[in-house]
């Protein structure tokens, strides 16, 4: 075993213990308060999880995709809001800076993001631009040495916490399509930014999503990320990574769901014996175990391919589609195993069932993932 492999093993073990000892006991508190407790945030910072994808030279852990997925499998065993709290700072909110940022931008933001001192948000989605990201209407108009940004962004995770926003705006006429979109790093204290109150949601308690409104928000030209017109490509590169990350989240949740159902089936007795003895219960457990195994194998293989430098747009979409849909099926089966008890809040499965539903929507819906897989497959055969 190499030194790097040993280090990863230690990090995964630490993440597993932190999840069991700290995150799981905090779940009901988060559900009741809609907040991540301070001691949990401190623990996430001490583990270095805000800087998983940030290079070591800027204070991060510099994990590979496989290493990142290995840690996420463990953290996502707890309800997804904990992962969401540091997720945007690792993924879509930071990867653009890592991939396209100038050295000045990297030095300004990455060290503080890596420690969790600052958080980042990714402002792409709009009220009328969701799956069709290229149709966004937020504008950034050049005015001397500055750009003036106007528009509204929707479903922005961690917006109320963010110190910097990666904002995608149109710098060319609509006719230019995706080639007319640019990305900007906008500091929270910039005049003209309004962050709305977080939405009240079906699940994901403790994860905060809000509208962010930009009204004559004036940023220096040096705030542009990359060059003019490359913002959409930047966003898609970040999303390829994020979808593999999200597949790892779904896989971790699958493991938790299956454990909840298996434990209940072994403890619950009907007709004088544990319901785990009944073949129809065993069938649901077996189906779920098979899907969990498949999801993890897919994520690990795609992560290794990404680390090897291969294009993984198709593979990331396959993983995100399969793992999140599997999480939905497993959540449904495990609630069924619980019977009526699965429908009351005394049992974790009720909460986890609601949490699992969002995974099939964000970072690209299941239907968009299917379209991406088909598009990439047809390109390969053209």
Tens digit of each residue's pLDDT (9 = 90 or more) over 341-372: 999 999 999 999 999 999 999 889 999 999 99
pLDDT digits (tens, 9 = 90+) for 264-290: 999 999 999 999 999 999 999 999 999
**Rg (Cα) of the chain, in Å, rounded?**
21
pLDDT digits (tens, 9 = 90+) for 161-180: 999 999 999 999 888 888 89
Using alpha carbons, list the distances in angstroms from residue 26 to 64, 141, 143, 264.
29, 46, 49, 21
Which of 3.90.420.10, 2.40.110.10, 2.40.30.30, 1.10.760.10 is the CATH number of 120-229? 2.40.110.10
363 in catalytic set: yes
CATH number corresponding to 3-115: 1.10.540.10
pLDDT digits (tens, 9 = 90+) for 134-157: 789 999 999 999 999 999 999 999
**Residue 197 confidence class, pLDDT cut points 50, 70, 90:** very high
* Residue 241: closest CA among 325, 178, 293, 311: 311
Cβ(71)–Cβ(127) below 8 Å: no
Residue intervals of the chain classified under CATH 1.10.540.10 are 3-115
pLDDT at 29 over 80: yes
Choice among 67, 291, 300, 363 that is catalytic: 363
pLDDT digits (tens, 9 = 90+) for 243-266: 999 999 999 999 999 999 999 999
CA angle 120-126-130, nearest 5°?
100
Phi-psi region of 48 (alpha: psi -120 to 50; beta: other; left: phi over 0): left
pTM for the structure as a whole: 0.95
pLDDT digits (tens, 9 = 90+) for 99-112: 999 999 999 999 99
pLDDT at 176 (0 to 100): 83
Yes or no: domain 233-381 corresponds to CATH 3.30.230.30: no
**Residue 93 confidence class, pLDDT cut points 50, 70, 90:** confident
Residue intervals of the chain classified under CATH 2.40.110.10 are 120-229
Residue intervals of the chain classified under CATH 1.20.140.10 are 233-381
* pLDDT > 90 in the chain, percent: 88
Strand partners, 56: none
């Amino acid at each position: 075993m190499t030194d790097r492999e040993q280090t990863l093993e230690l990090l995964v073990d630490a993440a597993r213990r932190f999840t069991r000892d700290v995150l799981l006991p905090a779940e009901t508190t988060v559900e009741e308060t809609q907040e991540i407790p301070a001691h949990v945030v401190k623990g996430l910072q001490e583990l270095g999880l805000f800087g998983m994808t940030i290079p070591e030279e800027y204070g991060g852990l510099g994990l590979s995709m496989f290493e990142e997925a290995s840690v996420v499998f463990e953290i996502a065993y707890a309800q997804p809001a904990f992962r969401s709290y540091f997720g945007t700072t690792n993924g879509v909110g930071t990867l653009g800076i890592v991939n396209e940022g100038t050295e000045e931008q990297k030095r300004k933001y990455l060290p503080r993001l890596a420690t969790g001192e600052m958080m980042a948000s990714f402002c792409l989605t709009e009220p009328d631009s969701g799956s069709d990201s290229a149709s966004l209407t937020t504008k950034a108009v050049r005015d001397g040495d500055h750009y003036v940004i106007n528009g509204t962004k929707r479903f922005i995770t961690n917006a109320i916490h963010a110190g910097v926003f990666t904002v995608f705006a149109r710098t060319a006429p609509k006719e230019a399509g995706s080639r007319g979109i640019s990305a900007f790093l906008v500091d929270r204290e910039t005049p003209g930014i309004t962050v709305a109150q977080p939405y009240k949601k079906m699940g994901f308690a403790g994860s905060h999503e809000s509208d962010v409104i930009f009204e004559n928000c004036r940023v220096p030209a040096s705030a542009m990320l990359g060059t003019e017109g490359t913002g959409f490509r930047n966003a898609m590169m970040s999303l390829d990574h994020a979808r593999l990350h999200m597949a790892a989240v779904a896989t971790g949740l699958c493991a938790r769901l299956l454990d909840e159902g298996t434990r209940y089936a072994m403890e619950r007795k009907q007709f004088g014996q544990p319901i785990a003895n009944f073949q129809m219960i065993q069938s649901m457990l077996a189906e779920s175990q098979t899907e969990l195994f498949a999801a993890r194998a897919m994520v690990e293989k795609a992560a290794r391919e990404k680390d090897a430098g291969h294009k993984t747009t198709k593979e990331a979409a396959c993983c995100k589609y399969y793992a999140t849909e599997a999480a939905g099926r497993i959540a449904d089966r495990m609630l069924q195993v619980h019977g009526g008890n699965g429908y009351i809040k005394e049992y974790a499965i009720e909460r986890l069932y609601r949490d699992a539903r969002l995974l099939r929507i964000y970072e690209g819906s299941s239907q968009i993932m299917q379209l991406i897989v088909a598009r990439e497959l047809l390109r390969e055969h053209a």
